[in-house]
Chain A
Amino acid sequence: DMKVTQMPRYLIKRMGENVLLECGQDMSHETMYWYRQDPGLGLQLIYISYDVDSNSEGDIPKGYRVSRKKREHFSLILDSAKTNQTSVYFCASSPGQGTERLFFGHGTKLSVL
């Protein structure tokens, strides 16, 4: 069953708290991504991971870091969350670099108060 799973679906944090968003995929895809989606801005790429411990900054990496220790898991970490990081975060995976079809999770709605 081809699936990208994100946990949690909803999260409320206070400014300054640390945040961990987790993503898993069951397709053995090499490449995984973290995006955030905000009204009027579409999907903005935060990080790309090409495989275990092979991560690269996307377009808006500031304030975020990632961890990929297993091919099927990719985590997004916000150290000391800020209110402007309130957003919907999507994880995606694809079979390799440069592929056009991304498989997205259902998203995590993060509110930083």
Chain B
Amino acid sequence: GDSVTQKQGQVTLSEDDFLFINCTYSTTTYPTLLWYVQYPGQGPQLLLKVTTANNKGISRGFEATYDKGTTSFHLQKASVQESDSAVYFCALPPSNTDKVVFGTGTRLQVSP
């Protein structure tokens, strides 16, 4: 079945550092790929998505790209702020099943 893997459990940065989070996926199709963000004390929310049409998604200063060759997709931000501290989930949208397939999440901690 479809799956996503996030090997980075936690990332610690300082303000204005560059952020790069990686995720790998396994699926039989070239899908739309999703990033969800979960701020402290809240539920996850959709941050952005990447489609095969554009290979890139941009929202709130974050940029997501994906690489079909390596079946990986990445979330980047040029200059993180303390307010970006959150858990970031990569995910695959429903295909053969009715459920979104979530990764285990990467916790980003940004210190001022």
Instruction: Say whether A and B bind each other.
Output: yes
Chain A residues packing against B (C-beta within 8 Å): 4, 31, 33, 40-43, 45, 48, 50, 56, 58, 90, 92, 97-107
A100 with B32, Cβ < 8 A, contacts A42-B103, A43-B44 known: yes
Chain B residues packing against A (C-beta within 8 Å): 9, 32, 34, 41-46, 49, 89, 93-94, 98-100, 102-105
A43 with B34, Cβ < 8 A, contacts A100-B93, A104-B43 known: no
Q: Judging by beta carbons under 8 Å apart, are B99 and A45 in contact?
A: yes
9 smallest beta-carbon distances between A and B, as pairs = A104-B43, A100-B93, A42-B104, A98-B94, A43-B102, A101-B46, A97-B98, A42-B105, A90-B43
- A60–B61 CA distance with the chains assembled, in angstroms: 36
Q: Contacts of A103 on B, CB cut-off 8 Å?
A: 45
- Cross-chain contact of B43 among A31, A56, A101, A107 (Cβ < 8 A): A107
